[in-house]
Structure 1
């Protein structure tokens, strides 16, 4: 309304009835860093950009090749290659197949193994929503040589530390992601994996907006006894900075992401049908039908069948071929759990709140584990007396299936930050209040502004308390907000333009250990 009234009449003056409020920030927005077959949409490249998506269909449209791909793109299409490698003795690790009295390990060409695509599928299968994708490059060429030792971890020479670090650095410009995930980090060498994890923790500690979910090298194919070496290597590889922003899960999980239609003869022996023939049409037991199908694959007729038709025919003609495909599927479906955990976090936050621990729940699509941990096995994962770095176990329980059985950060020795729920709740509160307080930048540094800030923050925290995010019988027990001259500020702060706000909260912690006491009582008369 005009300050000087010169014309007679009636004037109205609108007064705000409600003060500013704190808008809760999103708590489960993962950022995936890794390799994709392409990163292009409507003629624009999306490599080395943080691209926000809201569905798997969006991911496919931008980062996957057309289905079916154009002939020129066939070499770039995601196509893991597996080989049957004869072993002198029965392998104690990894998947193997017994054929004609011989044992064959199912081993990949390591340069054809990538995890990002299937991790995104796991994320959405487990209830994921918004996510950021940072594609750092396309798939590299196959080496044409498989692993020969089933005890060796897969290392893809096409996955480069410099690429992944460049993608990580791009996220410094994005404040919305709350989880950093790099599924292909386990395909690096141990030293490069160490550098990447330390970089992720340092960036998370600096930005204070996201946690990092790590996978453990060796978790895909653990030794039944010496798997503890992989655990120790992981603990030695995470450094000492930002541990309260790090979360790890072990082991990998056997999934149902890849179905029978996703793997065929083009994924075997680098597409060399001649190497497949001795298994489906051996000289000792000829299979003319299988031989005819293989000939059609090698020399297509005038009206060739599609790969899916040839695959179906070969499965019918050769039971051995069906066994080979099933074993390859089982190996290809063993994936790092980080992508699935991001989806679990999303559902957890939607249904129970970020202050609830994402544990004692199942993983959709997880059907097996490469190693079954016992209570005594988990003791060494959950609490480590030397490093204090906790690793969350994924375990199988009779009658319950596969459950996430841990809720700790890597900072297991810290009384303040040992629990995932506490770390993520504090990040949620800090960032929500920080963004809301920006509305008061350049406001007068006086009692009115202090009162408005205190009222706004107190109202927000009261809402969190009512939802169960803070403990206490009343709001005064759950939190305290202080701001003003003489309590949080000095005269020098006023002259320097500072408003200092102190917020104390009683965060809910998980009931990790439940102790039930039993005592016998003597029978009494009456």
Structure 2
């Protein structure tokens, strides 16, 4: 407290009051995989801001690996910035005794999207999901198996008890003169007679492949979303048509949607740029089975390849089944955590509680006005409670301040139902 000993005029600057909470970024992705360039950085997350920078760091020798195809698809679909973690051709997502693996991403706070392109075995699935569950500020984009003949095999949990299907597919592909993969008749667009066979998929390496002979999906988790099928794209390094895992392109769509509409908008019904075809065309009834299992389908809708699902792997009975809801809460929680850092070591009294309510309400009010929260009024959209009831004397003595925050998120209109009936003018007049 200042002391006034000498007569005169004193000017002091006082805090104005509100400390606006700024929203954290949700558009930065991280990709874990491998490249064939021995001189490329390995085991260290590398920041990349565009495709040219990626090729200058990780090489231009083709054909592209799934990691390279994913990064190219990310920037092509609207992504602006990402981190690339090269674990090497013999590395794994979870890491080895000599390599940290995905744990190397833990110290980078700005990451909001994580993907391991082409890594579709149970161990890779679990490593990515466990990382996101630990950090609680990022969501995983997972690739489904490259080729699955039986849809029931796609929705069963992937395990490590069976060999990789992608490896078998690759061996059959290499033995075929045309280079087409097994089951090519079922993998071509609409399955028309005389259509060209699908392009060969990138050769899987250790740590890649699918969970079993028929594939398999990732385990249940609210922190991940899985997408099928793989897509046909032009290899940016060789110019040939290849099959690519969709995670990089999907991550780019997430970033594009966040930038144009906000994290509360479901990244679905959006065109996948660079996708020329699908390795398998799902019917509406088949997608119904996938949707119930929490797997998002990519489909050809009226000639445009679009993402046609926005669910997490949490399950249909979970309150976190919708991807935009999970990402919105992760965004809000991290924003509030970072924006209220000034609270630490402040006197735990009514003045502090009032300041917390004011700042958090201001942040949630902006979300509501942006359309992220449901309700015609603020009272319907959110509440913030921080008073003597949430902070009893025993908590004050322990140095704890508690604020209760509730939000009513908007949820995607997943099923649009129009009930149409015949109308007779005479009957309508009598009803009036």
TM-score norm. by structure 1 comes to 0.66
Q: Deviations over 1:53-107 (max 9, x none)?
A: 2222222232225xxxxxxxxxxx4347xxxxxxxxxxxxxxxxxxxxxxxxxxx
d(CA) in 1 for partners of 2:380 and 2:59? 52
Structure 1 residue aligned with 2:301: 397
SS in 2 for 1:371: coil
Correspondence for 2:269 among 334, 350, 360:
360
Q: 1:409-448 maps to which residues of 2 (within 5 A)?
A: 409-448=312-351
| Aligned-residue CA RMSD (Å) | 2.2
User: Is 1:213 matched up with 2:141?
Assistant: yes
User: Is 1:375 matched up with 2:279?
Assistant: no
d(CA) in 1 for partners of 2:266 and 2:219? 25
User: Is 1:498 matched up with 2:407?
Assistant: no
User: Is 1:482 matched up with 2:385?
Assistant: yes
d(CA) in 1 for partners of 2:153 and 2:341? 48
d(CA) in 2 for partners of 1:14 and 1:382? 58
d(CA) in 2 for partners of 1:258 and 1:46? 20
SS in 2 for 1:183: coil
User: Is 1:31 matched up with 2:30?
Assistant: yes
Q: Deviations over 1:360-417 (max 9, x none)?
A: 111001111111111111111001xxxxx3100101123x411111010011223410
Structure 2 residue aligned with 1:124: 75
d(CA) in 1 for partners of 2:335 and 2:92? 36
d(CA) in 1 for partners of 2:314 and 2:369? 29
Contact 1:39 1:135 in 2 (8 A): no
Structure 1 residue aligned with 2:153: 229
Contact 1:479 1:504 in 2 (8 A): yes
d(CA) in 2 for partners of 1:484 and 1:236? 49
Q: 1:40-51 maps to which residues of 2 (within 5 A)?
A: 46-51=41-46
User: Is 1:136 matched up with 2:87?
Assistant: yes
Correspondence for 1:245 among 223, 232, 240:
223
Structure 2 vs 1, CA of residues 252 and 184 (structure 1 numbering), >3 Å: closer, same or farther?
Answer: closer
Structure 2 residue aligned with 1:304: none
Give how far 1:257 is off: 4.0
Q: 1:169-184 maps to which residues of 2 (within 5 A)?
A: 169-184=103-118
Give how far 1:23 is off: 1.2
d(CA) in 2 for partners of 1:397 and 1:4? 74
Structure 2 residue aligned with 1:316: none
Structure 1 residue aligned with 2:62: 78
Structure 2 vs 1, CA of residues 46 and 446 (structure 1 numbering), >3 Å: closer, same or farther?
Answer: farther
Structure 2 residue aligned with 1:338: 247
Unaligned runs of 5+ in 1: 66-76, 81-113, 140-157, 187-192, 264-328, 384-388
Contact 2:155 2:217 in 1 (8 A): no
Structure 2 vs 1, CA of residues 346 and 196 (structure 1 numbering), >3 Å: closer, same or farther?
Answer: same
Mark the structure with the bigger radius of gyration. 1
d(CA) in 2 for partners of 1:369 and 1:233? 23
Give how far 1:236 is off: 5.6
d(CA) in 1 for partners of 2:132 and 2:92? 21
d(CA) in 1 for partners of 2:105 and 2:81? 15
d(CA) in 2 for partners of 1:162 and 1:203? 9
TM-score norm. by structure 2 comes to 0.80
d(CA) in 2 for partners of 1:39 and 1:179? 27
d(CA) in 1 for partners of 2:308 and 2:278? 13
Give how far 1:38 is off: 4.2
Q: 1:55-94 maps to which residues of 2 (within 5 A)?
A: 55-64=50-59, 77-79=61-63
SS in 1 for 2:299: strand
SS in 1 for 2:75: helix
Correspondence for 1:518 among 420, 423, 432:
420
d(CA) in 1 for partners of 2:157 and 2:9? 78
d(CA) in 1 for partners of 2:2 and 2:236? 71
Structure 1 residue aligned with 2:66: 115
Contact 2:116 2:128 in 1 (8 A): no
Structure 1 residue aligned with 2:15: 16
Give how far 1:227 is off: 4.2
Q: Deviations over 1:280-312 (max 9, x none)?
A: xxxxxxxxxxxxxxxxxxxxxxxxxxxxxxxxx
d(CA) in 2 for partners of 1:417 and 1:39? 42
Q: Deviations over 1:222-272 (max 9, x none)?
A: 43xx243234254965334xx10110010001123447xx26xxxxxxxxx
Aligned length: 370
User: Is 1:468 matched up with 2:371?
Assistant: yes
Contact 2:93 2:116 in 1 (8 A): no
User: 4+ runs of 1 displaced by more than 6 Å?
Assistant: none
Contact 1:121 1:257 in 2 (8 A): no
Give how far 1:518 is off: 1.2
Contact 1:36 1:63 in 2 (8 A): yes
